Amino acid sequence: MVFSSCIFLFFFLPVVYLAYCICPNLRVKNALLITASLFFYAFGEPVYIFLMIGSILANYCLARLIAASEKWSKAALCVTVVFNIGMLVVFKYSALLIGTAAGMLRRTVTIPQLALPIGISFYTFQALSYCIDVYRDKALVQKNVWKLMLYISFFPQLIAGPIVKYHDISVQLSARCVTIEDTARGIQRFITGLAKKLLLANTMAYMVDTLYTTQLDFMLTAWMAAVCYVFQIYYDFSGYSDMAIGLGRMFGFAFQENFRYPYISGSIQEFWRRWHISLSTWFKEYLYIPLGGNRKGEVRTMGNKLIVFMATGIWHGASWTFLVWGLFHGLFITLEYRNLIPLKNKVFAHVYTMLVVVCGFVIFRADTIGQAVHILASMFTGVHVDAIERMLAARLLTPYNIVCLVAAVVFCAPVSEWVKGRVRHPAVRYAVSLALLALCILNLASSSYNPFIYFRF
């Protein structure tokens, strides 16, 4: 079940929210949200729900052990890290590791094909953040297993984030309230995210998927595919985050922002302060700083940054393209750290940043390193005009797709914030939200194309 589906919008969400409103106290409300969240996950993963529940129970016990014994807390934390990372290795990376090892040894082996549990990267990192927070502050240990289960399984952020750190939400598990204003703003934020997903991300996705059916030998089609994917992944990820933040607010939870207009950045460092903020801050708090951060000298700092970005790439999936994408960004981060790239001119800085981002996402989207190299070469040297690709580009540049592309360019800048600052009347904002919702419903009714990008992660 995804947020941008009829069953979620017209059945699951209204039923759960209305039931939540009539629950007499917070204890019952939490029980309802746990039940709803488990149903939400089981709807798509009826078997792997037991894996998630087992992970929650295991981390609950390990955290209690970390908090109970000062002598054994470090050992218990090590077991916790091995257990959670081990889960990711088994279900997410085992095929890649076995295949790579077999290739190096020139052996033929049968590679196990395990289905990737939806959201495992997100809920595993949340469980890890909880246990590490308890290690750092024993008072944070959650003795009520149901509250921990709610924290990890809460359906708005369960399958695609944002990654909610335990210390940011621990108080809200035990004390929160929902006001009419919270509900209204939450619904507005949800509709904004839904519009990003259905009206912009899905349109860009259709263009990208269509273009990727060709070789992409021509410069124009290669750039079209690259630029459309840049907008697809932004509006898909940020749209889902908007929906999650809006849903959280409707139920009394305040989630941190996950995207802050990353495409206006003037450096790759700034880009990562604005892009997938929950992931980058997670790695900063739980990997970069424990490695020593920038406290061990320049060489060690650059090494730590490369390790973090290598881990960021690997986190996204079991493919060498993700690893190379992470190292690609890490390389430019280290170059900027050494001041080897002149960023004083704002125009140059922005063009440079977006060029790195676009080229990086070509690697991210590609199925193989070879395909990524071919597309990047075509973007800069593909002067051969392929008739099929030219016809395909002309077919895709319909008035509707062009309008969506222009809207994607405009709204990746803080235009909406500028408009909100000048249109203060709530009625206007509600009218805009209702209009967007109507367009989303029409889109759902008229189109069956609704890809779920998070299956890869």
Residue 456 in this model has a pLDDT that exceeds 80: no
Which helix H or strand E contains 362, and what residues bound it?
A: helix 346-365
Residue 453 in this model has a pLDDT that exceeds 80: no
Whole-model pTM?
0.92
The domain locations on the chain are: 6-176, 182-266+343-456
Residue 103 in this model has a pLDDT that exceeds 90: no
pLDDT tens-digit map of 386-431? 777 777 888 888 899 999 999 999 999 998 888 777 777 778 888 9
Closest of 189, 194, 196, 279 to residue 231, by C-alpha:
196
Percent of the chain with pLDDT over 90: 66
Residue 441 in this model has a pLDDT that exceeds 70: yes
Residue 28, pLDDT score: 95
> Cα–Cα distance between 239 and 215 in angstroms, integer?
30
**Mean pLDDT of the 258-267 span:** 95
Q: Identify the active-site residue in 316, 329, 374, 425.
A: 316
Cα dihedral: 33, 432, 234, 416 (round 10): -120
Residue 455 binned pLDDT confidence (cut-offs 50, 70, 90): low
Cα dihedral: 20, 21, 27, 28 (round 10): -60
Residue 448, pLDDT score: 73
pLDDT tens-digit map of 413-425? 998 888 777 777 7
DSSP 237-288: HHHHHHHHHHHHHHTT--PPP--S-GGG-SSHHHHHHHSSHHHHHHHIIIII
Residue 385 in this model has a pLDDT that exceeds 80: no
Helix 399-411 vs helix 219-250: angle between axes, to the nearest 10 degrees?
60
Closest of 156, 137, 152, 113 to residue 2, by C-alpha:
156
- Please name the residues in contact with 38: beta carbons below 8 A apart, sequence gap of 6 or more: 49, 53, 153
Mean residue pLDDT across the chain: 90
Burial readout 193-214 (b: 16 or more C-beta within 10 A, e: otherwise): bbbbbbbbbbbbbbbbebbbeb
CB 112: neighbour CB atoms within 10 A? 9
**Mean pLDDT of the 269-288 span:** 94
CB 9: neighbour CB atoms within 10 A? 18
Burial readout 346-373 (b: 16 or more C-beta within 10 A, e: otherwise): eeebbebbbebbbbbbbbbbbeeeebbe
DSSP 6-74: HHIIIIIHHHHHHHHHH-SSHHHHHHHHHHHHHHHHHHH-TTTHHHHHHHHHHHHHHHHHHHH-TTTHH
Residue 457 binned pLDDT confidence (cut-offs 50, 70, 90): low
pLDDT tens-digit map of 310-362? 999 999 988 899 999 999 999 999 999 988 998 999 999 999 999 999 999 99
217 in Cβ contact with 389 (< 8 Å)? yes
- Please name the residues in contact with 22: beta carbons below 8 A apart, sequence gap of 6 or more: none
Best-predicted range by mean pLDDT among 116-125, 224-233, 293-302?
224-233
285 in Cβ contact with 301 (< 8 Å)? no
167 is catalytic: no
Residue 191 binned pLDDT confidence (cut-offs 50, 70, 90): very high
- CA–centroid distance for 275 within its chain: 9
Comparing 71 with 18, the larger pLDDT belongs to 18
Q: DSSP label at 138?
A: G
396 in Cβ contact with 211 (< 8 Å)? yes
> Cα–Cα distance between 260 and 240 in angstroms, integer?
14
With tokens 């419903």, the residue in question is 441
* Paired tokens of 327: 């190292």
Burial of 345 (0-12, 13-18, 19+ CB in 10 A): exposed
- Please name the residues in contact with 287: beta carbons below 8 A apart, sequence gap of 6 or more: 307, 308, 311
Counted residue by residue, the chain has a size of 457
Helix 49-68 vs helix 120-136: angle between axes, to the nearest 10 degrees?
10
With tokens 């359906």, the residue in question is 155
Q: DSSP label at 341?
A: S
Residue 131 binned pLDDT confidence (cut-offs 50, 70, 90): very high
> Cα–Cα distance between 417 and 327 in angstroms, integer?
33
Burial of 51 (0-12, 13-18, 19+ CB in 10 A): middle
With tokens 């051969």, the residue in question is 384
Mean pLDDT lowest among 17-31, 92-106, 146-160: 92-106
Residue 335, pLDDT score: 93
CB 29: neighbour CB atoms within 10 A? 20
With tokens 């973090």, the residue in question is 308
